Amino acid sequence: MQFVELAATSAAVTAVSGRRAKIDLLADTLRRLGPDEVEAGAAYLAGELRQRQIGVGWAAVRDVPGPAEAPSLTVGGVDATLAEIGAQAGPGSQGRRRALLHALFAAATKDEQRLLIGLLSGEVRQGAQAGLLIDAIAKAAEVGLVEVRRALLLTGDLKTVAQAALTGGSAALAGFQLQVGRPLAPMLAQAASTVDDALAATGVPAAVDEKLDGIRIQVHRSGDDVGVFSRSLDDITARVPEVVAAVRALPVGQIVLDGEAIALDATGRARPFQETSSRAARRGQPVTALNPYFFDLLHLDGTDLLDEPGQTRWAALAQAVPHELLVGRAMLSTVDEAAAAFDAALASGHEGVVVKAAHAPYDVGRRGAGWVKVKPRHTLDLVVLAAEWGHGRRRGWLSNLHLGARDPATGGFVMLGKTFKGLTDELLRWQTERFLELATERNDWVVTVRPEQVVEIAFDGVQTSPRYPGGVALRFARVLRYRDDKPATEADTIEDVRRLHMPASDRT
């Protein structure tokens, strides 16, 4: 298949709003892919590279050649070139990578370049996320949707599932089984604002788990062999020896566990998420110990538990794993009980709770109503200091916002980070006009503005950051609304932000 056909499908999916229309477009394109193109094509339609990372980002595509007049690229050819770029290493690799990238872009038409930029920058915003592609794969291969979802759960790889479905149909999908040692896509939780809303979704009885601010881990053990995998299914076994030791000590032969690993201080309270995540990412001798806590059991000594209701899995978990390695959990049937559990979790230093339906099986890696997370939402009123020009679908609009907190000591503003999350098309149009009016300096990359526009930002927490002058940055910042009713002199201060970074017991 020509790569320009994929680019056309991506543009068409962006242009239509109906879910069924998007699925039809995707399914038609999937059907037309050759057997050796399915994995790459499915990845591109999901807005990803088949190789995930090849060492090329947005900065590398800012000075690529202009587009070709006529299409000549194929899906397989593009995939081969991207793989070759990712394989470059050693002396001179940067130059070779750049030459290959420029040759690829020189052969690409304008529409193909637009898709390539989106794939390389991770910003293909066409609405073809995993849920849509699962439906499209089922339709294109003429197999059951449940078959595709279960295969995805067991493999954790949409590309592999697409390849199996489109080349081998139901028989190939049925060949996927839970295999101890091979990670599977984790069950995810949708979000709710209150425990009332969460219970309305899950029903009762339900469990309320403490939501630890750690890293998701999935641990597989067969005999003495133990593998630890991250939420993205990366193998992190060598980086978490304490997790390996804890699971190897369990009195079982085979087990697959779902849980969290978290760094704790001397009093047993959770350390900031940044410490946990950096510890898990660091190779070599551990500095901070990570404590594992488990909340689900997927397999035990030859028996798969995926399709069992939560209560059955949790009972087996409690028998197989000692209490000190379990996430705090309360079974309940009323909103008052859930509210009390939520308050207790926050008082213990956790970031919230996850409400779980007692009857729900361990579902495919998607955000269903079986698990619902509830966290207190932090918000700050900050000031926009600059905005970067968007690319891909946001080309021509000012998108990524530079956010600052007020510094009463200097009368200026302290940058806390950037965000392009939470911006609708309407907001993008509005803020582009607004910030061009406030511009004090501009170039092809960024527009610096007078620090006058206040924006309300929601975020999940504050973390230490040597990258920014205030020493702190916001986690998962996203725009809620612009505050035209508030002048910049009433924005939140850098001290307000630093107080949120303190342990609860140290705040005044």
What residues are labeled active site? 211
Torsion of the alpha carbons at 137, 140, 143 and 147, rounded to the nearest 10: 0
Bridge partners for 146 per DSSP? none
Backbone φ and ψ for 215, nearest 5 degrees, come out as -110, 140
- Interior CA angle at 185 toward 181 and 211, to 5°? 105
Q: List, as one string, the DSSP characters of 277-337.
A: HHHHH--SS-SS-EEEEEEEEEEETTEE-TTS-HHHHHHHHHHHS-GGGB--EEEESSHHH
Rounded Cα distance, 449 and 19, in Å: 39
> In the numeric block, which tokens belong to residue 388?
């970067």
Rounded Cα distance, 215 and 48, in Å: 23
Rounded Cα distance, 183 and 163, in Å: 18
Rounded Cα distance, 380 and 3, in Å: 44
> In the numeric block, which tokens belong to residue 60?
């590398």
- Interior CA angle at 327 toward 478 and 280, to 5°? 60
Rounded Cα distance, 327 and 341, in Å: 13
Tell me, rounded to whole angstroms, the distance of Cα 320 from its chain centroid. Answer: 30
* Neighbouring residues of 383: CB distance < 8 A, sequence distance ≥ 6: 403, 404, 405, 406, 413, 451, 452, 453, 454, 455, 488, 491
Backbone φ and ψ for 96, nearest 5 degrees, come out as -65, -40
CA pseudo-torsion sign 469, 472, 475, 480: negative
Rounded Cα distance, 160 and 138, in Å: 13
Torsion of the alpha carbons at 445, 412, 407 and 436, rounded to the nearest 10: -40
Torsion of the alpha carbons at 292, 293, 297 and 302, rounded to the nearest 10: 30
Closest CA to 390 of 346, 426, 420, 358: 420
